[in-house]
Amino acid sequence: MKILRKVLAVVVVFVIFYFLITYLINNWQKIPFASLQFNITNLLLSFALLLVNFLLFIQGWKYIILRLGSKITFRTAFWIISLSQVAKYVPGGIWFALGRAYLGKAEKLGAGTIAVSVIIETGMTFLACILLLFLSVIFSRQLLHINTWFIVPLFIIFLILIQPSILNRLMNTALKIFKRPAINLDMSYLQLLELSAYFIGFLIAQLIGFFFLVNSIYPTGMSKIFELSAAYLLSWMAGFVVIFAPGGLGVREGVMTILLSSILPPPLAIAISFLARVWLTVFEIAVFLAGLIARRSSYRPEKNNA
């Protein structure tokens, strides 16, 4: 049965990429080459914002670990996250968490603590995604005179959902659906409020980075930032939920292409979805190498003292 699922996952990803690439090749001439440009400044800004995104994410995870009663430095959190990130491209959706648990052993972090931290991290990320998705949709409609009436209730709902007892029920309901053991969220409301700032912040940094990435080859103007953000968030969520696709491979590109096609010419939307994958992969390789260096330097003093 497991082999059948793996084969099915490979087939689905292959079919998605086949149709995307075939469509791109057949409609290559519809790409507005005259409007394309290469803006190195925007490209560098996109990577700089990815770095901000990554550092805020690490700080958020470090905050969770500390609140769960374990000690961890930023450098240690950096190399654990950096090295375990590559495991998300393995089908199954849990290997990055197992990777963190394995790497955390060297720092005396219990597997249970790591597992709970990943669940809290995922729950907060999804809530922040939903909040920003709704905000992006509202602002992209340019209904400025009624936006306030939507924004205030959205933040009130968000503040209610991160109340410890409610968030605990939401996460355990999701865990039950995915046949995972229940957890007990032992964090105060004030701590969850502080934690949410990290997760909203790292998502905003990534969304702005994506905007600069698109504008590094095709100028859209600030008026499109909310539509681009909505497409990016929805495609990320789709890729995460579909666990058979490693790292959302294929699913994210397919959903992003569909959503971006209302903003950009369809062939260009496909190219942008591929470019976004390359953008993230290049950055993840860079931080993986940086994580190796950070881990090696962390253990060097111990070896010298020995």
In the chain, the number of structural domains is: 1
Q: What is the pTM of this model?
A: 0.87
Neighbours of 157 (CB within 10 A): 14
The maximal CA–CA distance of the chain, rounded, in angstroms, is 67
Instruction: Find where tokens 């909505």 sit.
Output: 230
pLDDT in tens, the chain (306 residues): 566 666 776 777 778 877 888 888 888 888 888 888 899 999 999 999 999 999 999 999 999 999 988 889 999 999 999 988 876 766 555 666 777 888 888 788 888 888 889 889 988 999 999 999 988 888 876 544 445 566 778 888 899 999 999 998 988 888 887 777 788 888 899 999 999 999 999 999 999 999 999 999 999 888 889 999 999 999 998 887 776 666 677 888 999 999 999 888 899 999 999 999 999 999 999 999 998 888 887 665 544 443
Position 250 scores a pLDDT of 80
Buried/exposed code over 6-30 (b: 16+ C-beta within 10 A; e: otherwise) = eeebeebbeebeeebeeebeeeeee
- In 3D, which of 167, 180, 170 has the Cα closest to residue 97? 180
Residue 291 lies in a domain: yes
Position 223 scores a pLDDT of 83
Calpha distance 152→159 (Å, rounded):
11
Calpha distance 293→296 (Å, rounded):
5
Say which DSSP state 29 is in: G
Neighbours of 244 (CB within 10 A): 17
Q: Radius of gyration of the chain from Cα atoms? A: 20
Say which DSSP state 34 is in: G
Residue 12 lies in a domain: no
Residue 207 lies in a domain: yes
CA 190 from centre of chain = 24
Tokens of 181: 């053991």
Q: What is the 3-state secondary structure (H, E, C) of 201-253?
A: HHHHHHHHHHHHHHHCCCCCCHHHHHHHHHHHHHHHHHHHHCCCCHHHCCHHH
User: Residue 108, class by beta-carbon neighbours within 10 Å (0-12 exposed, 13-18 middle, 19+ buried)?
Assistant: exposed
Position 52 scores a pLDDT of 97
Position 276 scores a pLDDT of 94
- The type of residue at 120 is I
Residue 206 lies in a domain: yes
Residue 293 lies in a domain: yes
Residue 11 lies in a domain: no
**Domain, as residue range, for 231:** 36-213+220-297
Calpha distance 224→208 (Å, rounded):
11
Angle at 161 between CA 156 and CA 167, to 5 degrees: 165
